[in-house]
A and B are shown apart, each in its own frame.
Chain A
Amino acid sequence: MGGSATAVAAAACGVPEKELLVQAPLEMPEDLVTGLDNWYATIDRQNRNGIGIVVRVMEGRAKKIEGNVDYPVNVGKHNAIADAGVQSLYHPDRISAPLVRTGERGEGNWEEISWTDAVSRIASRLEGVSGEELVLVTSPIGGHMGSVVNSFTDAFGSTHLQYEPLERTVLQASIKNVFGQDVMPDFDIENAAYVLSFGADFLNGWVSPVRFGRGYGDFRHAEGRERGTFTHIESRLSMTAANADDWIYVKPGYEGVLALSMAKVIIDEGLGDDAAVASLTQNGTNDLSQFDPSNVSAVSGVPAQRIREIAHEFATKRPAVAIGGGSAAAHTNGLFNLNAVHSLNYLVGNVNKKGGVIFNPMPPIGLPVGSRSSSFQQMSTLSDRMANREVKALFVREADPFYGMPSSSEVRKASFGVDLIVSFSGQFDDTTAMADIVLPEHNYLEDWGTDVPDPGPGYQVVGFQQPVVRPFFENRGGHLGTKNFGDVLITLGEILSNPLSLPGDDVKTFKDVVEQGARSLYGLNRGSVKSDDFRSFWQGVLQRGGWWDTGARYDGPSPTPPALPVSPQEPISGSGEFALVPFESAGLSDGRTSDLPWLQALPDPISTAVWHTWVEINNKKAEEMDIREGDVVEVTSPRGSIKALAYPHPGISPDAVAVPIGGGHLGGGRYSKERGSNVFSILEPLTDDKTGALAWGATRVSLRKTGDWVRLSKFENTKPDISEDTHRKIIPLTNG
């Protein structure tokens, strides 16, 4: 009877064999104490605007992400997307080694090769490729990775496009036009008494939701202030709209004239700041008469009386702030809309004041900010160039243009005109599926980096990203596994004897670049971390998750209010019965986080739907059309059609339908592959005429019942007894 007593016991109780194995590690790191946790500060890369996070690490594994209390952008808060970051680290379908395509492009046949082999294959195929023929497409990147990419493009003379599907081009152009700012200002919701928002879903996905959400909490209730008032103007009842005191429905694309009408009311009633009024109206020469509420009411669908009321409230409850963005910017007249909205801020004198629009200083030590997106027009040009065989090599990092570009731009087809496509993704997203060589990048929790938040909190901030765990695929050996993107660019430069200009002679790796950056910050001798020697400065920065200087604020000139844009532009849109409103659901962002099961299973705030692509339609309209929840509906635009499950509800206008973004990936791992439909694919390639941004809110569609029915997975009615709150027993109300 060789079996030991414990084994008998184990067999009797059904203990899995592997539980009996206690592994003694070979070398134990000094600070590793089993059963104790360490919290490491780093930067979240799941959200579009990086927030400071702390990661709980036990026995070398990341367990939980929470907000970093020290970090000025989010002050300890985070959101669902940031929290789910651990699932991206341990995603079962992560790519664990460099891959080379073996079959036809897009067939999905791959072979593992070593890093040296992969890099040398790329190097040999880049020989003879001129700078213009090499294109780098990344998500918007700032900080030191931004500077390394810049030195790569400088060294090779290549083009660099920063792609994201819901681009911020229009917003940035408007900020530049109206406020003369190169970086995003911070909207100080926290200290505002009145917030007037046009289309900006700022509590859910727009620009910096965690920061705005934190401000919103204090805006509602905080010690020593009255409850703020919030009016939201949008064509769909978004999560942000649902939280407003008043949600005003506006016809898509008419936000700009509505804002100008409010401006007219404020000016006529003499409620605006005199100097600003003079400047905005060019001393009265700018004729606003066509924006009389009675005229605007007819086109925008907002009653004239409401326009006057809101204008009045906005001008009298100060400090007030007007925010424009999101769906208001997603039309062919997007820039006009945003310029009109943001100009309202001058009328109430809140520009660069507490409770208003607070300008941000330029980042220190010449770092690039992380949100310069390229316009759709530039991406379309790239697609054309690819089709014309003018692009020989395409590098793609973190961006997924083959998913986000409307199908009319035919970027997938155009990719066959490119000789070499290299993807740096750690996941088989739609773009990576069409690549020739995949060089998987570290997950952000395994990687170094810096981040310049955009918008910042009103002063200079540099967030530091450090590896909180060792690379997960480290056990595959040095020749396989994942690597840092910057290091690969540096190596490529060396091999092709086109070295990147790095800050300092002994700077060899991307980590050195980051450390060198910290050295420059140390040299400034100001800010949150001060010390006598660099080592303790470096440790202080990593410990607190970054460096910031509350004294380094915007000190440029106060901008002169530019003339109001008085020649209105009608939004152009296609034909179809319904205006199509694509929107970001709570978890899936612009489609980049669709691969994470927690976020797929996260109920959408409005519909509570999960795991699907649904189409929101007005409940009365649906009744008319005999559409019930779960009916499979074909949503057809002139550019194609998708199928989605109907979800009728009262929070949408009868002449619009809304479809969430994030479904219909062709790849991206088991949780997102071929799940739902991709609303981007049916968008018309209309652009904002000034900036070339995609007018993703301008498409019109028609609906057709297919006759099929599928149960719409949703959280609503999971607990059937409390499905309605007709007597307000669950959520009682008070009026003050």
Chain B
Amino acid sequence: MADAKWGMVIDVDKCTGCQACVVACQSENNVPINTEDIFNQRRAIEWIRVERYWEGEFPDVKARFIPVLCQHCDDAPCEPVCPVFATYHNNEGMNVQIYNRCIGTRFCANNCPYHVRYFNFWEPEWPDTLTHQLNPDVTVRSRGIMEKCTFCVQRIRRTSREADRDGREIEDGARELSPACVNSCPTSALVWGDFNNKNSKVSNLAEKEMSHNGSHHGRGYKMMENLGTSPNVIYLKKIDKHAKETVAHE
């Protein structure tokens, strides 16, 4: 899988804000339970979160949703500031976080324009019985460690290993390979795959939606692209028939 370049395409026009991805992620990745206190301290951890933005006043009011997760930027601002190389870009196009290297300076979170890095201010705690649910493939992060979306790398590792063992090919968009959020999304607003595979769903979507020629205007944009982070997550614009065309970066 060394040649892959994993990425995601998120259709904001399909996202209903239902939060299925949030629980799917927490369940797969042993994210600590966000208690009331943790929310009040503004230290809640949601590797993928759904943001809600208001526009207008009653009755002409809109609430719009957008899922935000680690953008796995090619030029990630979080990477150069880590003094211990705990975060770096691997050869699969992913921005990865190595827990055992992390010393908790929080420089990376400070430098991330998307605010998708979460710091463990507290030791994660579960009642004894709930620990039975914890995913053995994912490290439980202790206090003082930075964590963030991994594109469910444990699934990539497990699936490619088992495919190697059984001598089979993995199809594009296979559920066993896909991150938990992508599998859960009821409207299929999240699509995940390999940008290096020219026939993959994400490649096709990127090609179609990021291009502008003639009358065709793709809906694709990258969040806060003007910062030069070159994210590996492509968003597709929300369609609002009352809206005047706006661009992602002005």
Contact = CB atoms under 8 A, between A and B. Distances in A.
Contacts of A605: 17-19, 50, 52, 63, 65
Question: For the side of the interface on B, what is the size category?
Answer: 35 or more
Given A80-B18, A650-B61, A733-B246, A62 B128 contact: no
B79 interface: no
6 contacts: A59-B136, A80-B23, A217-B187, A221-B11, A603-B22, A730-B66
Most B CB atoms within 10 A — which of A76, A214, A733? A733
Contacts of A727: 250
A244 B19 CA distance: 17
Given A650-B58, A652-B58, A734-B239, A92 B129 contact: yes
A716 B61 contact: no
Interface string A373-385: 0000000000000
B188 interface: yes
Contact of B237 (A217, A245, A653, A733): A733
Interface in A562-610: 586-587, 597-599, 601-603, 605-606, 608, 610
A243 B63 CA distance: 8
A549 interface: no
Contacts of A477: none
Interface of B: 11-14, 16-20, 22-24, 26-28, 33-36, 39-40, 42-44, 46, 49-59, 61-66, 113, 115, 127-136, 158, 175, 180, 183-189, 217, 219, 221, 223-224, 237-250
B61 A78 contact: no
A408 B246 CA distance: 53
A239 B247 contact: no
A557 interface: no
A217 B12 contact: no
Question: For the side of the interface on A, what is the size category?
Answer: 35 or more
Given A216-B186, A237-B63, A602-B22, 14 more contacts: A61-B132, A79-B20, A92-B129, A94-B129, A221-B13, A239-B16, A242-B65, A245-B240, A610-B44, A651-B58, A718-B39, A718-B43, A731-B237, A732-B237
A91 interface: yes
Contacts of B184: 66-67, 77-79, 83
Nearest to B250: A727
A38 interface: no
A373 to B, nearest CB: 24
A64 interface: yes
A620 interface: yes
A732 B224 CA distance: 11
Which 6 A-B residue pairings sit nearest by Cβ, starting from the closest?
Answer: A217-B187, A213-B186, A92-B127, A719-B115, A733-B243, A713-B39
Contact of B59 (A653, A721, A728, A731): A653
Contacts of B36: 610-612, 713
Nearest to B58: A650
Nearest to B130: A90
A444 to B, nearest CB: 15
A210 interface: yes
A719 B131 CA distance: 29
A733 B39 contact: no
Contacts of A670: 127
Most A CB atoms within 10 A — which of B39, B44, B239? B39
Given A722-B115, A729-B224, A731-B12, A83 B59 contact: no
Nearest to A724: B53
A451 to B, nearest CB: 19
B58 A618 contact: yes
Contact of A84 (B16, B23, B44, B237): B23
Contacts of A717: 42
Nearest to A604: B19
B18 A204 contact: yes
A661 B113 CA distance: 36
Contacts of A599: 23
A736 B239 contact: yes
B16 A216 contact: yes
A442 to B, nearest CB: 15
A83 B18 contact: no
Contacts of B186: 74, 77-79, 209-210, 213-214, 216-217
A101 B36 CA distance: 33
B248 A610 contact: no
Interface string A646-671: 00011111100000000000000010
A242 B18 contact: no
A719 B66 CA distance: 14
B129 A91 contact: yes
A352 to B, nearest CB: 25
A628 interface: no
Contact of B241 (A245, A611, A728): A245
Contact of B53 (A216, A602, A653, A730): A730
A642 interface: no
A163 to B, nearest CB: 26
B133 A730 contact: no
A84 B27 contact: yes
Contacts of A89: 133
Contact of B238 (A65, A90, A734): A734
Contacts of B242: 735
A63 B27 CA distance: 8
B112 to A, nearest CB: 10
Contact of B243 (A213, A612, A652, A735): A735
A606 B246 contact: no
B35 to A, nearest CB: 7
A732 B188 CA distance: 20
Given A64-B135, A67-B184, A227-B239, A653 B58 contact: yes
A731 B243 contact: no
A217 B243 CA distance: 21
A64 B155 CA distance: 13
A624 interface: no
A69 interface: yes
Given A204-B18, A732-B221, A242 B64 contact: yes
Given A90-B133, A714-B39, A729-B248, A243 B33 contact: no
Contacts of B57: 619-620, 650
Contacts of A91: 129-130
Contacts of A80: 18-20, 22-24
A733 B27 contact: no
B17 to A, nearest CB: 4
B90 to A, nearest CB: 24
